Amino acid sequence: MAKIIINREKCKGCLLCVSFCPKSLIVADKDLNRRGLNPAKTKDSSGCTGCSMCAIICPECCIEVYK
């Protein structure tokens, strides 16, 4: 199983990763980060296939995917 790690303090909340995740495993966090933005978070990374689409599309490079 792959694992998604999102640096919530670096995330600007564009949510492109939410749109590109084929398994819909990433959602917007309701809690704000230090910048006052709603970052992305994983709702359940157990279904992650490790495609890395979220990490590739992230303009801030704040997502890491481990297989």
Kindly report the CA angle at 55 between 38 and 59, in degrees rounded to 5?
60
Identify the domain containing residue 8 by its residue range.
3-66
* Residue 57 · residue 13 · CB < 8 Å: no
3-state SS assignment for residue 19:
helix
pLDDT, one tens digit per residue, over 38-58 is 999 999 888 999 999 999 999
* Residue 15 · residue 40 · CB < 8 Å: yes
pLDDT, one tens digit per residue, over 13-46 is 999 999 999 999 999 999 999 999 999 999 988 8
The pLDDT value recorded for residue 56 is 98
Which CATH number characterizes residue 58's domain?
3.30.70.20
* CA 50 to chain CA centroid, nearest Å: 12
Question: Is the pTM of the predicted complex or chain greater than 0.75?
Answer: yes
Number of domains in the chain: 1
The one-character DSSP state at 47 is: G
Encoded tokens for 41 = 């978070």
